[in-house]
């Protein structure tokens, strides 16, 4: 379980996380979405105990998390970690030596699947392969909480598909909380159970993909008709061209109206409307 209560993280006078409260209490694969600078990496580092927060409290499995916590129960590896310039196979062995629950068989299987050369030193790998090695080490740790920060960075399309398969296999073998930060939205929808949207340091959305499918849609038509139809609905964005208006909604859909067009939003369009801050619409 991950519990955040009133979490704020400041760098000088700038607050990167702002009074964030969040509880993840069930095993599952969760997706963390946000624009660059939204605070995603800061959030993951704080949960992992890599840095202290300014205010609030973070607990993992009821244990208070700070940089002084000896075993947080969290596996997280920063992007661009140097890993001491060691050979890949040596890195996997070291990870197993310091963690008695390490799944070396899984790590070895994934090494073979992704054709990773165990003799090659980490800093000689491509960006995608570096990211893959870090991800394999994280997943093989068998920790109760896995945090993956942009794990498909540098992957081509085929590697991304294989990664999502690996993620699902790892979860099926060892159900736990896996929190994945990514920019590639649509591809991960088949893998995740719930979506978290972080925007300007605050949680804007935390729910299932089914909620998006049922309640996220657009209504288009003449301005007067759209305004009448959306008067009591949760409008998350709006576009207008001349007298025609498209409003983006997250709410219970109204009955079909002949003068209006109502269409479901893709996850990407929903995300854009939630964090786009366009047109003066109050988010």
Alpha carbon of residue 37 to chain centroid: 14
Do β-strands 202-208 and 194-199 pair in parallel, antiparallel, or remain unpaired?
antiparallel
Q: Interior CA angle at 148 toward 144 and 151, to 5°?
A: 145
Please give the pLDDT value at position 83: 62
Please give the pLDDT value at position 277: 58
Burial class from Cβ neighbours inside 10 Å (0-12, 13-18, 19+) for residue 50 reads middle
- Segment 55-64, tens digit of pLDDT: 999 999 999 9
Alpha carbon of residue 134 to chain centroid: 17
Please give the pLDDT value at position 280: 37
Q: Is the dihedral of CA 197, 160, 168, 63 positive or negative?
A: negative
Confidence grade of residue 100 (pLDDT, cut at 50, 70, 90): confident
Q: What does the DSSP 8-state code read for residue 87?
A: B
- Segment 141-179, tens digit of pLDDT: 989 999 999 888 888 888 889 999 999 999 999 999 999
Q: Where in the chain are all domains bearing CATH 3.30.70?
A: 215-275
Alpha-carbon torsion angle 121, 181, 24, 147, nearest 10: 10
- Segment 38-48, tens digit of pLDDT: 999 999 999 99
Q: Is the pLDDT of residue 279 over 50?
A: no
Contact criterion met (CB below 8 Å) for 35 and 26: no
CA distance 122 to 125: 6
Q: Is 282 helix (H, G, I), strand (E, B) or coil?
A: coil
Confidence grade of residue 14 (pLDDT, cut at 50, 70, 90): very high
Average pLDDT in the chain: 90
Q: What are phi and psi of 222, to 5 degrees?
A: -65, 145
Instruction: Give the predicted TM-score (pTM) of the model.
Output: 0.89
Q: Nearest to residue 38, comparing CAs of 153, 180, 204, 154?
A: 204
Confidence grade of residue 127 (pLDDT, cut at 50, 70, 90): confident
- Tell me if the domain spanning 2-200 has CATH number 3.40.50.300: yes
Q: Which fold has domain 215-275?
A: Alpha-Beta Plaits (3.30.70)
Please give the pLDDT value at position 126: 87
Angstrom distances, CA of residue 81 to CA of 26, 229, 278: 29, 52, 36
- Segment 172-205, tens digit of pLDDT: 999 999 999 987 888 888 899 899 999 999 999 9
Give buried/exposed letters for 138-169 (b at 16+ CB in 10 A, else e): bbbbbbbbbbbbbbbbbbeeebbebbbebbee
Q: What are phi and psi of 211, to 5 degrees?
A: -65, -40
Tokens of 80: 């661009």
Q: Is the pLDDT of residue 67 over 60?
A: yes
- Give the residue-averaged pLDDT of 246-253: 94
Do β-strands 235-241 and 244-250 pair in parallel, antiparallel, or remain unpaired?
antiparallel
Q: Where in the chain are all domains bearing CATH 3.40.50.300?
A: 2-200
């Amino acid at each position: 379980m991950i519990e955040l209560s009133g979490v704020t993280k400041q760098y000088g006078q700038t607050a990167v996380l702002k009074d964030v409260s969040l509880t993840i209490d069930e095993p599952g694969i969760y997706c963390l979405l946000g624009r660059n600078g939204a605070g995603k990496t800061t959030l993951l580092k704080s949960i992992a105990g890599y840095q202290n927060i300014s205010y609030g409290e973070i607990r993992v499995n009821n244990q208070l998390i700070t940089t002084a916590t000896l075993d947080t129960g969290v596996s997280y590896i920063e992007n661009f970690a140097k890993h001491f310039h060691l050979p890949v196979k040596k890195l996997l062995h070291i990870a197993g030596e310091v963690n008695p629950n390490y799944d070396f068989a899984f790590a070895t299987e994934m090494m073979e699947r992704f054709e990773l050369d165990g003799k090659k030193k980490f800093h000689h790998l491509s960006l995608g392969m570096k990211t893959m090695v870090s991800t394999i080490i994280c997943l093989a740790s068998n920790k109760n909480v896995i945090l993956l920060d942009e794990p498909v960075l540098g992957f081509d399309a085929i590697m991304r598909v294989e990664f999502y398969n690996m993620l699902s296999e790892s979860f099926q073998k060892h159900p736990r909380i896996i929190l994945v930060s990514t920019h590639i939205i649509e591809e991960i929808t088949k893998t995740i159970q719930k979506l978290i949207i972080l925007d300007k340091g605050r949680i804007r959305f935390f729910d299932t993909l089914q909620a998006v499918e049922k309640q996220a849609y657009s209504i288009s038509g003449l301005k007067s008709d759209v305004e009448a139809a959306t008067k009591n609905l949760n409008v998350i964005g709006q576009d207008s061209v001349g007298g025609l208006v498209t409003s983006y909604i997250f709410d219970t859909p109204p009955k079909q109206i002949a003068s209006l067009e109502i269409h479901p939003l893709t996850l990407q369009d929903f995300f854009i409307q939630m964090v786009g801050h366009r047109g003066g619409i109050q988010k």
